[in-house]
Amino acid sequence: DVKSTGFRVFIGKDTKNIPKVGGDYDSRGLLAELKKIKGDYNDKTDAVITVDDEVNYEFLILGMDMLIQGGFPSISVSTGGSV
């Protein structure tokens, strides 16, 4: 998820929050988490990214860029954020 407070990653029932640092999205923290996940699920290449309505488009793209760099190039986008 791309939320106004930062990123949130879901893997199964586990959730990892990656809050903003100094008011900025922590893309390095997100990438590090995605690389850990990729290490556990090496064959997985797909991901779904959600974005809250109030979040600027550029941060959706940032999240997508981090997914690609993390090894998840098959991205589906869902608007409205998750619950």
Give, in order, the Cα–Cα distances in Å from 17 to each of 2, 43, 66. 10, 24, 15
Burial of 75 (0-12, 13-18, 19+ CB in 10 A): middle
**What is the pTM (predicted TM-score) of this model?**
0.89
Q: How many CB atoms lie within 10 A of CB 6?
A: 18
> Angle at Cα 40 formed by Cα 34 and Cα 44, nearest 5°?
75
Match 């893997």 to its residue by tokens.
11
pLDDT digits (tens, 9 = 90+) for 1-57: 999 999 999 998 999 999 999 999 999 999 999 999 999 999 999 999 999 888 999
Mean pLDDT of 63-69: 97
